Amino acid sequence: MNVPAAATRTERMPAPGLARSVEETVMPIPPNLPPRTLRVGVLSRLATTRPWEIHDHVSALVLQQAYESPYISPPDGGAPRPLLFSEPLRSEGDPLVVSAAVRAGATFSDGMPCTAGAVATALSRVGDVTSRAEVRARGEKVEFRLRAPDPHLATVLTAPFCGVAAESRGQLLGTGAFLAPEPLDGADPMKSEKLLLRPNPRAARAPALGGVLFEVYPDADALLSAVHAGDVHVTYSLTFAHLARLRGAPVFPKTLDGSSTGILFLNVERPALADPRTRRALCASVSRTEIARVNYGALGLGFAAPGLLPPFLKKDVPLGSVDGNLGEARQILDGAGLKAPERLTLVLTWGPKPYLPDPPAAAKSVADTFRALGTEVTVVQPKDRAEYAGHLERADYDLLLGGWIADTPLPADFLDSLLLSSMVVSKAAPRAAAYNLSRWRDPATDRALAEFRRTLDVKDLTPIVRTVHEQGLMVPLLHGKLIAVSHRDTRRFEPSALARSLFAEVEL
């Protein structure tokens, strides 16, 4: 597997099912990589270098190696465990005040002690924390003054956007096993296709690896080819649809419980979709089983999503029919004296995801269905994540075909991201977990979400799902299974259904 520095591999046989020439040239292995460098394959660049701005899987996987969150979720989604904190959150009398001590001896990568004050400053940047509590230092402890009772704050503090960073001389420093990402092709980590993370010499425990290299591949076919060639040690970027094409590769693929849902969002702010009966008719017409078929083939119908919450979260209530019904859609429109919109614009996610392996095929299915109702759909395909994010911030779409991957094992967090009024995507008031792309603002829904967060009881989920259905806010399409792929030379790699693996203890 090792190739001399700066070597280029040629005459590589393509992976099964890949239409590539035998005489292909694959990107050279970067020179001067440290020994025992773990190579991680991804399909998009780093979207931010600031942990409190993390909004995507790749940035989370990269930055959590350098910036530790107070707690960490175990791979099975169990109770959070202390990471940068040394103990669970505790109340000392007032139920609205909880605190925990920072891990003894925690040090930033420049040698500066990681104090409670530094942690409080870092967490005060995180909108998803400050919306729940005021954060302050009290001696050696970090104190949270809750705005309302929240028994799940520790779970929120496992999210990658709660990674603690200190600013010093224009740089961000962390306490994790590795240093901040270093671009190997240029000066800007967010434009780089090769990012190296070197070991943090002041980490609590020295990593076994000499480094971690994140490489961006142009598409899933190129990543598959590199996996077959042994050039990738770990990737979460392939989908269940690629599983058969991994046969013969020197890897162990592991299928994990689905932690994501592909979703068709309807933008309630757009004039053509202002009437909830129009939205409800459109939602009723969509066949999730057909979208499962075009994404996974005839055997993939089990991926059709009956409800919003993915299987990993272990709670859900059915939402509408998985098969779609044009007759019902026409009946809703006729009964209301409405016609389907003449034209709608659909923006789709920029690349394959666990919850949507083939976004263009899904978009075509939606467009064909709506055409049968008399609606012409213009499909807009962003070229990358940045262009996609621009559409979200401008809200210049009628329909959006995307999805959401859970940040935490808490079903209430998943629903808050999609439906809470304060989670409407906005450049002016950004929140890392915001994904309310229906742009639904409703105090009654907010109260129902708060009650479900308090109880986590399915009976309190029912009124939320009823609102989504009656208002025609979105259609859950597919529950994607996550595939964790690791090279057979990789040891002590712990796959996570949230794609939140730490590489501190991985060995080659």
Output the pLDDT for position 364: 98
Question: For 461-466, what is the mean pLDDT?
Answer: 97
Are 156 and 297 within one domain? no
Output the pLDDT for position 30: 61
> In the predicted model, is pLDDT for residue 26 greater than 70?
no
Last residue of a domain, one of 175, 190, 223: 175
Q: Are 468 and 474 in contact (CB under 8 A)?
A: yes
Output the pLDDT for position 235: 98
- pLDDT classification of 258: cutoffs 50, 70, 90: confident
Are 169 and 266 within one domain? no
Last residue of a domain, one of 122, 141, 175: 175
Which residues form the domain of 152? 68-175
Are 388 and 292 within one domain? yes
Alpha carbon of 277 to those of 2, 215, 320, 328, 344: distances in Å?
A: 61, 46, 14, 12, 16
Output the pLDDT for position 443: 98
Return the structure tokens found at 107.
């040090």
Give a yes or no: residue 9 inside a domain. no
Output the pLDDT for position 4: 32
Are 169 and 261 within one domain? no
Beta strands in 37-165 (DSSP E): 37-42, 71-72, 81-82, 90-91, 97-101, 133-138, 141-146
Cα–Cα distance, 499 to 54 (Å, whole number): 14
Are 170 and 263 within one domain? no
3-class secondary structure for 410-434? CHHHHHHHHHCHHHECCCCCCCCCC
Sign of CA dihedral 17, 23, 24, 27: positive
Cα–Cα distance, 170 to 488 (Å, whole number): 40
Are 443 and 311 within one domain? yes
Output the pLDDT for position 25: 36
Output the pLDDT for position 87: 98
Q: Mean of the per-residue pLDDT values for the chain?
A: 91
Burial class (CB in 10 A: 0-12, 13-18, 19+), 364: middle
Are 465 and 370 within one domain? yes
Cα–Cα distance, 395 to 412 (Å, whole number): 25
- Mutual orientation of helices 276-285 and 326-336 as an angle, nearest 10°? 160
Instruction: Kindly report, residue by residue over 87-112, the tens digit of the pLDDT.
Output: 999 998 899 999 999 999 999 999 99
Are 339 and 463 within one domain? yes
pTM of the predicted protein model: 0.86
Output the pLDDT for position 119: 98
Give a yes or no: residue 121 inside a domain. yes
- pLDDT classification of 352: cutoffs 50, 70, 90: confident
- pLDDT classification of 491: cutoffs 50, 70, 90: very high
- pLDDT classification of 5: cutoffs 50, 70, 90: very low
DSSP secondary structure letter of residue 356: B
CA-wise closest residue to 498 among 307, 256, 269, 317: 256
Output the pLDDT for position 29: 57
Give a yes or no: residue 16 inside a domain. no
> In the predicted model, is pLDDT for residue 27 greater than 60?
no
- pLDDT classification of 31: cutoffs 50, 70, 90: low
> In the predicted model, is pLDDT for residue 3 greater than 90?
no
- pLDDT classification of 16: cutoffs 50, 70, 90: very low
**Domain total of the chain:** 2
- pLDDT classification of 45: cutoffs 50, 70, 90: very high
Instruction: Kindly report, residue by residue over 142-184, the tens digit of the pLDDT.
Output: 999 999 999 999 999 999 999 999 999 889 999 999 999 999 9
Give a yes or no: residue 367 inside a domain. yes
Distance linking the first and last C-alpha atoms of the chain:
11
Question: For 108-121, what is the mean pLDDT?
Answer: 98
Q: In CATH, what number is assigned to the domain containing residue 90?
A: 3.40.190.10
CA-wise closest residue to 275 among 288, 263, 266: 266
Give a yes or no: residue 118 inside a domain. yes
Are 437 and 300 within one domain? yes
Output the pLDDT for position 393: 93
> In the predicted model, is pLDDT for residue 18 greater than 80?
no
Give a yes or no: residue 374 inside a domain. yes
Output the pLDDT for position 300: 80
Percentage of the chain beyond pLDDT 90 is 80
Q: In CATH, what number is assigned to the domain containing residue 270?
A: 3.10.105.10
Looking from the CA of 437 toward its CB, the CA atoms found within 13 Å total 27
Are 158 and 278 within one domain? no
Are 312 and 431 within one domain? yes
3-class secondary-structure state, position 108: coil
Instruction: Kindly report, residue by residue over 398-426, the tens digit of the pLDDT.
Output: 999 999 999 899 999 999 999 999 999 98
> In the predicted model, is pLDDT for residue 376 greater than 50?
yes
Minimum mean pLDDT range among 22-31, 80-89, 292-301:
22-31
Alpha carbon of 158 to those of 54, 79, 472: distances in Å?
A: 13, 10, 32
Give a yes or no: residue 440 inside a domain. yes
Non-local CB neighbours of 439 within 8 Å, separated by 6+ positions:
267, 268, 269, 395, 424, 425
Question: For 225-234, what is the mean pLDDT?
Answer: 97
CA-wise closest residue to 277 among 472, 441, 442, 466: 472
- pLDDT classification of 488: cutoffs 50, 70, 90: very high
Are 169 and 263 within one domain? no
Last residue of a domain, one of 152, 175, 198: 175
Give a yes or no: residue 169 inside a domain. yes
* Buried residues in 328-346 as b, exposed as e (16+ CB within 10 A): bbbebbeeeeeebbeebbb
> In the predicted model, is pLDDT for residue 241 greater than 90?
no
Output the pLDDT for position 322: 87
